[in-house]
Structure 1
Amino acid sequence: MQSLGSQNPAPARSGFRIGALGLSVLVLAFLVAVIFAANRNEVIGWIVAIISFAWLLFAAFVFFTVRGASRRARARFEEAARQFGRAPSMSGGTTAEEARTVDEVRDLKLDHSFKIIQVQERVVRENLGKDPEQVARALETIQITAANARDMLRPDGGEPVAGTVVDEG
């Protein structure tokens, strides 16, 4: 299903191509019915020709009505987008929804960073004086995680700090 704000008209065009193909088939069926009715000059042939012509008219009516409604809806949507001062979104979502999603993801990442720091703090407390190498790794993990969390809060979105994180806790 295509969202209303999508700039990709391909699905709509393919639908109109299929509709035009259906109309072509009905025109062909009508012409065949008329030719057979004219050649045999029987009432049943003319009845079939009239029925196929009625279906052709009905299909053409539906096709052109749907196409016109689609064009009017697209024009209204574009007008509404201009009134709000923005072009239609490629994803179909609104700017507020996209900002909220970005904020939620950032908050989730920050929460994860704080949990890592809490775990590594426990590792430091448990291994202080016992295993200096484990304490050094935990402190390095805390430093990397804190730097990454700070970078998530910066407006320029700095690059994450590189390093090896060993989680033995």
Structure 2
Amino acid sequence: MQSIESSSHRRGLRLTNVVLLVVIIAFIVAVIFAANQNDIIGWMVVVIAGGWLILSTISLIMVSRGARAVHKTAQDFRSNLAASSASGTVVDATDPMRDTKVDHSLKIVEVQKRVITEELAKGVDQADFEMIDRALDTIEMTAHNARDMINPDRHKKKAKPDTDNGNNTITGDIIN
């Protein structure tokens, strides 16, 4: 892959140099004719050829800089990709869908906290402890899921004691 990139790069550079050389030759020829003829039209051709020479030189410089920047970005991307594939899954920190899901999870936790607070405010005699237990289970499941969204490989990184036969899921009732 490297030889293909360098081969096409060399061909493009050769073609660019040839075009620039043609513009320089046209400029020199225009200057010689204008000096020999010493007329207005000859000098106008010199100015036009000079303008094209300046434009092509500026274009060559800008395209070269852009190509170098793209090449550097591609190399950085490849090295980051190689490093991330060696270390595991990469979670994009700018994923708007993941951010929305985590935000929704935090809203669920807030609602369940409010349910617990309202039930406890009723007093020990009138509080619905089953509702409080369901709210706590919901908070636990939501926190577990949100942490999995942020770090999908968190269970793979460190070994946990095999208390649930290798199954790292949380069970519970879903409350609508």
Could you say which structure has the greater relative contact order, defined with CA pairs below 8 angstroms and 6 or more residues apart? 1
TM-score grouping bracket, smaller chain normalisation: 0.3 to 0.5
TM-score normalized with structure 1 length: 0.45
TM-score normalized with structure 2 length: 0.44
